[in-house]
Homo-oligomer: A and B are copies of this chain.
Amino acid sequence: MARDFLRYGMVGGLGFIGAVHRAANRFDFKTELVAGCFSRSEEKNKEAADTFNVERVYSDYKEMARKEAELEDGIDFVSVVTPNVAHYEICKEFLLNGINVVCEKPLCFTIEQAKELKKIAEEKDLMFGVTYTYMGYPMVKLAKQMVEEGKIGKIINVNAEYPQEWLIDALNGDSSTTAKLSGWRSDPAVAGAANCIGDIGTHIENVVAYVTGLKIKRVAAAVDYFGQDLDLNANILVEYDNGARGVYWCSQVSMGHYNDLVFRIFGTNGSIEWHQENPEYLKVCLRNKPMEYYYRGTGNIYGNALANQRVPSGHVEGFHVAFANIYRAYGKALLKKMNGEELTKEDMDFPTVDDGLEGVKFITACVESGKKDSEWVTL
């Protein structure tokens, strides 16, 4: 009988984003959380399992990977929602045990690690998702479609940014606040080579690549550390393989911006603009036409964007729903694969280990350019 339901496990996930992963998985009655290794603290681990009604709780992710692989009704995939440093080892462990993976971004610390994970996943024929959330928004999908259709012509310039304000206290010597706020993200041993670029800069890279289909050739980055071990702000010149250029800006110390991912794509025939903090519309400006705003849920939405809508226009589908869309796409594809069906390009419309690898390349190049006084660094 064809499978129509997935069991999954979680490693980590007691921060806010873990709750989002779980809610996202529950939107569609297609996945159930059945196993977990939620915390190194035995107490927290148990408590979490209780709260989530999870019976199979493990204190060691390796044991979890091994045992779940042996169970007949073991997990079909694992969600890895730990601090960055652990992604590589955990993903690898589950892959080696033959279990599909969804991992938070950034995928891992080094390009080598990312390539290795990709290689194992391919060799083992496993499905590997990476939660670059913003690909899940219908209006981002509409933007991608419009670019593909040539609506804005050949792309000539990109201006994209992702400013936040939450680490501003780091600039004001308030280390306790900083510690409280930032936790592991500003510790190189846990976060990796970058903080700001790794946490949010990589989202810019991902969403622009998704929408434009362009590959970055090289970057020239002015990376600001403001006396900290890891970066808090970066202005990055970007050059794409088609010769177009642009600027990415990410920041965690920019007052008045909360989670303000914005992209503006300019072509020879028009432009497209999207704001994550108000995600329901797409601004489209074409030659010889008035400025247009496409709204989610209206009759002007089509294709994959339409397929990813859940409620009528004006009922805002926010962050959780975008996340749910990622998991729904991943889950659908995984079920098809498990049932031996052919996967189409549309089926694979979710972020994979390839996106994860591109992200690590981008982070690595930006950090290197920053160290070299903003020299161009090829990806």
CA distance A164 to B316 in the complex (A): 14
Q: Does A314 contact B (CB under 8 A)?
A: yes
Q: Does A45 contact B (CB under 8 A)?
A: no
Which residues between 282 and 315 of chain A lie within 8 Å of chain B, taking CB atoms? Answer: 283-295, 297-300, 310-315
Q: Are A315 and B313 touching (Cβ within 8 A)?
A: no
**Chain B hits for A288, CB < 8 A:** 299-300
**Chain B hits for A27, CB < 8 A:** 23, 26, 320
Determine how many copies of this chain the complex contains: 4
CA distance A297 to B164 in the complex (A): 12
Q: Does A266 contact B (CB under 8 A)?
A: yes
Which residues between 315 and 346 of chain A lie within 8 Å of chain B, taking CB atoms? Answer: 315-321
Q: Contact residue range for chain A?
A: 35 or more
- Chain B min CB distance to A62 (Å): 27
CA distance A4 to B188 in the complex (A): 41
- Chain B min CB distance to A172 (Å): 6
Q: Does A352 contact B (CB under 8 A)?
A: no
Q: Are A259 and B291 touching (Cβ within 8 A)?
A: no
**Chain B hits for A269, CB < 8 A:** 172, 255
CA distance A373 to B288 in the complex (A): 34
Q: Are B256 and A226 touching (Cβ within 8 A)?
A: no
**Chain B hits for A293, CB < 8 A:** 290-293
- Chain B min CB distance to A252 (Å): 11
Q: Does A166 contact B (CB under 8 A)?
A: yes
Q: Are A313 and B258 touching (Cβ within 8 A)?
A: yes
CA distance A23 to B30 in the complex (A): 12
Which residues between 224 and 239 of chain A lie within 8 Å of chain B, taking CB atoms? Answer: 224, 226, 233, 235, 237, 239
